[in-house]
Amino acid sequence: MRTTTSRGLQPNVLGTFDTIVMAVAGSAPAYSLAATTAVLFGAVGFAGPAALLYCAIPMFGIVLAYARLGRIDVNAGAGYSWVGRTLHPFLGFLSGWALVFAATVFMVAGSLPAGSLTLALVAPGLASSTPLATAVGACWFLLMLGVVLGGTRLTVRAQLLMSGIEMAILLAFVLAAVAHRGRAVAFDWSWFGLGHFHGPEGFAAGALIAAFYYWGWDVTSNLSEETRNSRRTAGLAALVGVGFVFLLFVAFTVAVNVLLPADRILDAGPNVLAVLGEEIWPGVGGKLLVVAVILSTVATLETTLLQVTRSLFAMGRDRTLPAALGLVHRRWNTPWVAIAAVGAAALVLFAAAAAAGSVQRILRDAVSAIGLQIAFYYGLAGIAAAVAYKSLLLRSVKNLLLGGVWPLLGSAFMLWAFVESLGELSTTALTIGLGGLAAGLVPMAVYRRRGSDYYRPARLDAGRALAAAGEAAPTSPGARLRDKSYATDF
């Protein structure tokens, strides 16, 4: 297998529509609803729609932060690069490490439902077996590992097929839920208020779980080196993707509240969408939504693999992790060593999961632990955007709001949820979440001592970057309209 450190990722593979699909698939609508709805209901009861709403508002601030940072630094490492060049290289490395660790844990948290649901379709009596569910989930994971290894074009084609079918099923069931006559409880606007939360700790726990719903849209930034006109496309796709999945998440969460009694929601666990499907369309509906969840799970395994391997590629390229991770396959233009490393680590976790408890318990702890990691690195990105654009914030009200106030509010919310939820999480979730972050201190110390240039960064300053882009931009009005990468406003 021939590789070379001088080769980069293949540019201009993804268009705007492809990137929007990646953003939606990264958030994994059907999987997130299946894996997390019962967890969210157990934490906040009927306030699930409120948790999704109040998390979406600051989440859009983080999306704006990513969009603006991506305009001045196109980098497969995304937050790893941006935080390191604005706040501090130590924080930047830990930001990238948090994503890598969370994504690796998710390989198991995502594959287990795919395995158990596949068994539920073909051999229902075996679906409750954790070892069998782990084995089937591992097969799905290895299949997606091969697709991602085969190159970005193959990955995009597979993603369009899987996400297209998933979206068609989900949208059909949204319409069917609206028309359905059976009601467990009447719809109540208070579900969008604060009254159902059990104090600040309950609100923070709900916000952390809701953050897991949305997580994954930032794959667009990790794919920026492979995207056409990525300075604009990656951010735009993320905004559209988060807006779409927010509406979908709220619609299904309201439908679950209305159509299913509380005890059925909690008993269903990760099978809540199948139970909802049976309620709406007995006999067929449950199976269709199970198919949607399987497709969503497999699709998000693919986008998560893209995200973590591109992050590892950037870290290997910068020599903050073994340089071999920055190697690119000569034929497929993929970071094959990073892909192999993630595959090996995930298989070890699969073996551990097979010996662990129930699928539902593994999911609950994994979702909470991943939520901690998400809140950490999203929070740092919001601050990084404000720091990078500090010289431009007072040029217009739009710059101040979109480049400073909103990202900082999003960052404050994420970091508050991180701290506030520490007292609510299980020992296992805390061990995975905080222990995973702490583990990053070891490679950080080792590779800093080896003299990686990452720890002597060129500061990221939007004023200078955009001024340089403006000087390099074409001078004719028509040409400048075609090249908007130098613009200060998003």
Q: What gap in Å lies between CA 146 and CA 421, rounded to an integer?
A: 37
Geometric angle at alpha carbon 366, from 361 and 368, rounded to 5°: 100
What amino acid is encoded at 342 in this protein? V
Q: What gap in Å lies between CA 308 and CA 341, rounded to an integer?
A: 10
- The structure tokens listed for 355 are 């010996």
Q: Strand 328-329 and strand 3-4: pairing?
A: antiparallel
Of 292, 103, 139, the C-alpha closest to 216 is 103
Backbone angles phi, psi at 277, to 5 degrees: -60, -40
pLDDT for the residue numbered 7? 59
Q: Token pair 């073994």 is at which residue? A: 322
**What is the number of H-type helices and E-type strands within the chain?**
21, 2
Q: What gap in Å lies between CA 299 and CA 68, rounded to an integer?
A: 27
Task: Look up the pTM and report it.
Answer: 0.87
Contact 381, 83 (CB under 8 A): yes
Q: What parts of the chain have a pLDDT lower than 50? A: 1-6, 471-490
The enclosing H or E element of 429 equals: helix 427-439
Query: Residue 329: CB partners within 8 Å, gap ≥ 6?
Result: 1, 2, 3, 149, 335, 336
Alpha helices (runs of H) in 215-358, residue ranges in sequence order: 219-222, 230-259, 262-268, 272-280, 285-317, 336-354
Contact 76, 310 (CB under 8 A): yes
pLDDT for the residue numbered 114? 82
Neighbours of 337 (CB within 10 A): 22
What amino acid is encoded at 153 in this protein? R
Terminal-to-terminal C-alpha distance of the chain:
43
Q: Token pair 């990686």 is at which residue? A: 452
Geometric angle at alpha carbon 245, from 243 and 250, rounded to 5°: 100
Convert 46-70 to b/e letters by CB count within 10 Å (16 or more is b). Answer: bbbbbbbbbbbebbbbbbbbbbbbb
Contact 265, 38 (CB under 8 A): yes
- Identify the CATH number of the domain defined by range 12-482: 1.20.1740.10
Contact 4, 326 (CB under 8 A): no
**Per-domain residue ranges for the chain?**
12-482
Q: Token pair 């603006």 is at which residue? A: 68
Q: What gap in Å lies between CA 279 and CA 394, rounded to an integer?
A: 54
Q: Token pair 């999480």 is at which residue? A: 425
Q: What gap in Å lies between CA 370 and CA 101, rounded to an integer?
A: 8
Q: What gap in Å lies between CA 35 and CA 313, rounded to an integer?
A: 29
pLDDT for the residue numbered 321? 94
- The structure tokens listed for 433 are 């979440």
Contact 89, 455 (CB under 8 A): yes
Q: Token pair 């990238």 is at which residue? A: 96
Q: What gap in Å lies between CA 327 and CA 336, rounded to an integer?
A: 7
- Strand partners of residue 4: 328
- The structure tokens listed for 380 are 């740092």
Geometric angle at alpha carbon 88, from 87 and 89, rounded to 5°: 135
- The structure tokens listed for 268 are 């269903």
Q: Is the CA virtual torsion 458, 456, 333, 163 positive or negative?
A: negative
